[in-house]
Amino acid sequence: MKDNILTKNDNISYKCGYVCLIARPNVGKSTLLNHITGQKIAITTSTAQTTRKQIKGIYTDEAAQIIFVDTPGVHKPINNLGEYLGEQSKSAVDDVDIILFLVDITTPSGKGDLWIVQNYLKDAKKPIIIVGNKADLIKDKIKEEANICTYKTLFDKNLPFIKVSAKTGKNTNKLLEAIKENLPTGIKLYPDDVITDQNMRMIASEVIREKIILNTKDEIPHSVAVLIDDYKTENNIDKIKATIFVSADSQKGIVIGKNGSMLKKIGTDARIELEEIIEGKVFLELFVKVKKNWQKDKTALKMLGYSDV
């Protein structure tokens, strides 16, 4: 995982390292990452398993550089895509310096949290910080403390617990300080102005997928993938061609919409956000194809980038 991008730093007390964010689906990992980096790095929706790949967000200040690794929400896999998502999370846990176990303190721990601890964290040989997210949504302090206790008792040792709100930023500075205390000493791996490892093809694909999920709600999010067919810059315009893959004919109709209205809305929303990111003009062409049961098809998964082989 360690990137071969080094810059000299004469401060021998400087801290630098990798931090993994792991949680069950829809707890707020990507929202937290976006807040800490100060820019949208990972797409966020209310739909579980929005994140499908490891995404690095890089936070740099005068004392430390923290490379956050956002992982897919962890759950028991039900198909080849699920197995890939699980492997992405497992490899991140194995390779980082610190693990942040993000939990939702508005509810007590559940089977999903226990499954993560038993399968990913129980034997981890590195510092673990439990991060209680959504602190802005719970007002009953007695209930809050009871919920926190259920997460602490998942472990057979006393671990630090920090309450935060990824949405408002509450206590994120406290979290950063706790991370710095546990980071190894080292030189910067990225220049100060780099905040993610994603290239524009990856960003464009994720932005388009986010707009599909937001516009179609619960109808097709787990059945959609986006492939960037072509990305080039001509006459100061970023020209992007992308194919949206769905797993059934009925889903194709949903994505296109009546007289193409839904596809137009998705394209417009994606184009506007991409233009804000690049601070320039974007021409976006979208196509929709059916690839039946692509989540179970290893060849399709490889084509769509959900494979390490």
What pLDDT is stored for residue 95 in this prediction?
A: 81
What pLDDT is stored for residue 56 in this prediction?
A: 85
Q: Which residue stretches of the chain have pLDDT < 50?
A: 1-11, 45-52, 75, 77-78, 309
Over residues 85-112, the pLDDT tens digits come to 556 556 567 789 999 999 999 999 999 8
What pLDDT is stored for residue 218 in this prediction?
A: 62
What is the phi/psi pair of residue 186, to 5°?
180, 170
The ranges assigned to domains in the chain are 15-182, 200-303
Residue with tokens 């057979």: 156
Q: Which of 131, 57, 45 is nearest to 92 (CA)?
A: 57
CATH superfamily of 200-303: K homology (KH) domain (3.30.300.20)
User: pTM here?
Assistant: 0.71
Domain 15-182 is found in CATH 3.40.50.11540: no
DSSP state of 73: P
Task: Show the tokens assigned to 263.
Answer: 């596809």
Whether 35 and 24 have beta carbons less than 8 Å apart is answered as no
What pLDDT is stored for residue 73 in this prediction?
A: 54
Report the SS3 class of residue 283. Answer: strand
* Sign of the dihedral through C-alpha 276, 278, 279, 282: negative
What pLDDT is stored for residue 12 in this prediction?
A: 58
* Helix (H), strand (E) counts: the chain: 9, 9
